[in-house]
Structure 1
Amino acid sequence: MKPRIAVLLGDPAGIGPELIARLVARPENRARADLLIIGDKRELDRGMEIAQQRFDHTLVRDEADAARDTDIPSLIDFRLPDDAPYERGVSTERGGRYSLEAFRKALALTQANRTQAMLFAPVNKTSLHLAGMETGDEMEWFARQLDYAGAFCEFNVLDELWTSRVTSHMALKDVSARLTPERIVGAVRLIHDGLKRAGLAAPRIAVCGFNPHNGDNGAFGREEIDVIAPAVQRARSLGFDAQGPFPADTIFVRARDQKAFDGVVTMYHDQGQIAMKLMGFWRGVTVHGGLPVPIATPAHGTAFDIHGQGRADVGATQKAFDIAVRMAADRLR
């Protein structure tokens, strides 16, 4: 039996519907998984028009009506109660509300294993906050909706290289105080488990330092000596193939050119994000790691500036779909 993926169009003000149209129009994608699209039919039609790509689909009332093991996607025509037109190319409360309500529906299905994974096109954080999202980002919001109190982390993925981070959306001045052996070992554990769920049997994980030149033996800070190196040793004692700490300005070269590692644990947001986006902005994927359901999305944003122009690059959405399918298949085992 093929896995079933809940596919969301993202914020209608951006390039999401166009990206999903390009993705689903590829016959090989429809052959790999049963696709349940949850979104406004008019937005999907508009996405196909912009992308100049069309595919057949079946309208269904809910997931129970959707056929299994078929190459024809099912569509739940999901609309907001006010049913008004969406503004384009700007952040709006309605766009955020549409995204959040679609999330709720897809999360419920995926938590119940009626769909095995979620794939969503880009959403806009400003729109989500205008719509009432009280968390810093959608990953925290997902955890609350799922009533999940365990550890979770945003993974950024470029081709076969994954990254996780010990701290995320916070001021740089606050990062050092948040670096503890427990947090670092937790980040190693999360990325190890995420890579295994995506099909890698024995993940190799590099851990970044925090200071320039890895602190240069304490000349530029002692986090590497006092916190990070002991955390790496603890991770190894627990059976993880973790190495480091390595200077952040060279580890991504080794990971990319020498294929020396499958995952890199960074200490803060931009330490990994800048490297990954420079290496392949339109191929990058975000995986919401540690949550009890697989969720993937392109790492780029809604690209309001090119909405409606028919030139959105589907590369990252395709990569996100590839990961979602692998993780969904693992859930069926």
Structure 2
Amino acid sequence: MKPIIALAMGDPAGISPELTAKLLAVDEVAAKARLVVIGDRRVLDDGAKVAAVKLDLMNVLPGANIAGDGPPVFIDLGHLDPASVARSVATAEGGRFALTNYRHALTMARNGRADAVCFTPFNKSAMRLAHPSYDDEIGFSAEIVGLDGPASEFNVLDRLWNARVTSHIALSEVASHITTGRVLRGIRLTDSSMRGAGFDRPRIAVAGLNPHAGDGGNFGREEIDAIGPAVEQGRLEGIAVEGPFPSDTVFLRAKSGTFDAVLTMYHDQGQIAMKLMGFDRGVTLLGGFPFPICTPAHGTAYEIAGKGIAGIGAARAAVLLAAEMARKQARV
């Protein structure tokens, strides 16, 4: 049986409507998963016109029985008139649209009505206009799902993963957040999340924080005082982890196949490398949740919204990764 994926439409002012429509027209996606799309049908139909795709999609009520291997369906919440959307502009209305869709998708998976959640790109400015306490998808998702344990974003490019110890914080605050406990938590979560994705014993490289991984303490002591001890503890626990390595070369080794994942210390330390290697295929995965949550690693692309040229590669990869992880978890 194909896994059911609750697909939340993202920011309506960007490329999300056309990406959602394009996903529904991909044969490989239809073969691997049953999509249950959540949003406003008028917004989706507008996106289909932009994408030049014809949709054969039935609307269902929010509480409808969607079990089984049927065709994709659309849950029409009827909460946004596309005529009111200013293209390429972040608004509170657009943020509310995306948050409502995402909340519904998370609730479906939390209640066992979907096996995984995906969403087309959000705009964080719009989300914060709609929900001032919104920090990022991790905190919002944890609140809706009721998650107590650790969670983190992973970037996935084909078979290479990037994890990080800190994420959406100011660069000036990163060093104070690099502790043995936080690094070890990142190592453990990377190992468990990758095992859930089918890796038997993922090989994890840990990047240093400072130039040349601190150069023996000449350029900082985080590698000696925090990162190194966390790596050693991870190894004692049976995790295949090594480091810390200089961050300017560790991705070369990972790309060559020496490692399956790189744990970096802050957001852009890994994001830059991953996006250079495959911007059009990268997936963001929220790890630590009881079900897969995936989205394209790129943003809302306001600069090309409405032009019909948005690439489907990353969105396609996100849905296929979510479907594969859901299948593996169902077999455990």
Superposition TM-score tier, normalisation by shorter sequence = over 0.9
Give the letter for the 1:172 counterpart: L
CA positional deviation for 1:81:
7.5
Q: Does 1:112 align with 2:111?
A: yes
Is the partner of 1:94 in helix, strand or coil?
helix
Q: Corresponding residue for 1:24?
A: 24
Q: Corresponding residue for 2:231?
A: 232
Alignment of 1:145-160 (within 5 A): 145-160=144-159
Is the partner of 1:37 in helix, strand or coil?
strand
When residues 202 and 251 of structure 1 are mapped into structure 2, their CA distance, relative to the original with a 3 A threshold, is same
Query: Percent of aligned pairs with the same residue?
Result: 49
Q: Corresponding residue for 2:50?
A: 50
When residues 214 and 309 of structure 1 are mapped into structure 2, their CA distance, relative to the original with a 3 A threshold, is same
- Root-mean-square deviation (CA), in Å? 1.6
Q: Corresponding residue for 1:40?
A: 40
Q: Corresponding residue for 2:278?
A: 280
Do 1:116 and 1:331's aligned partners in 2 also have CA atoms closer than 8 Å?
Answer: no
Do 2:206 and 2:241's aligned partners in 1 also have CA atoms closer than 8 Å?
Answer: yes
CA positional deviation for 1:236:
0.6
Is the partner of 1:162 in helix, strand or coil?
strand
CA positional deviation for 1:214:
1.1
Do 2:127 and 2:134's aligned partners in 1 also have CA atoms closer than 8 Å?
Answer: no
Do 1:192 and 1:203's aligned partners in 2 also have CA atoms closer than 8 Å?
Answer: yes
Give the letter for the 2:42 counterpart: R
Is the partner of 2:38 in helix, strand or coil?
strand
The unaligned stretches of length 5 or more in structure 2 are: none
Deviation per CA, 1:28-78: give whole Å up to 9, x if none: 2111111111111111111211111223112111353336213x2111112
Q: Corresponding residue for 1:243?
A: 242
Q: Corresponding residue for 1:13?
A: 13
Do 1:125 and 1:137's aligned partners in 2 also have CA atoms closer than 8 Å?
Answer: yes
Alignment of 1:108-147 (within 5 A): 108-147=107-146
Q: Corresponding residue for 1:213?
A: 212
Separation (CA, whole Å) in 2 of partners of 1:92 and 1:62:
25
Is the partner of 1:216 in helix, strand or coil?
helix
Give the letter for the 1:237 counterpart: L
**Pick aligned residue for 1:305 from 297, 303, 306:** 303
Separation (CA, whole Å) in 1 of partners of 2:119 and 2:47:
14
Deviation per CA, 1:166-218: give whole Å up to 9, x if none: 11122222222211111111101111111112122221100001110111111
CA positional deviation for 1:232:
0.4
Do 2:18 and 2:308's aligned partners in 1 also have CA atoms closer than 8 Å?
Answer: yes
Q: Corresponding residue for 1:320?
A: 318
Do 2:32 and 2:323's aligned partners in 1 also have CA atoms closer than 8 Å?
Answer: yes
When residues 244 and 87 of structure 1 are mapped into structure 2, their CA distance, relative to the original with a 3 A threshold, is same
Q: Does 1:69 align with 2:69?
A: yes
Deviation per CA, 1:99-154: give whole Å up to 9, x if none: 11111111111011210101100010011011014132122111112222211111
CA positional deviation for 1:96:
0.3
Do 1:133 and 1:141's aligned partners in 2 also have CA atoms closer than 8 Å?
Answer: no
Q: Corresponding residue for 1:167?
A: 166
Separation (CA, whole Å) in 2 of partners of 1:331 and 1:269:
28
Separation (CA, whole Å) in 1 of partners of 2:40 and 2:81:
13
When residues 63 and 324 of structure 1 are mapped into structure 2, their CA distance, relative to the original with a 3 A threshold, is farther
Give the letter for the 1:217 counterpart: G
The unaligned stretches of length 5 or more in structure 1 are: none
Aligned residues: 331
Q: Does 1:196 align with 2:195?
A: yes
Q: Corresponding residue for 2:84?
A: 85
Is the partner of 1:283 in helix, strand or coil?
coil
Q: Corresponding residue for 1:4?
A: 4
Is the partner of 1:65 in helix, strand or coil?
coil
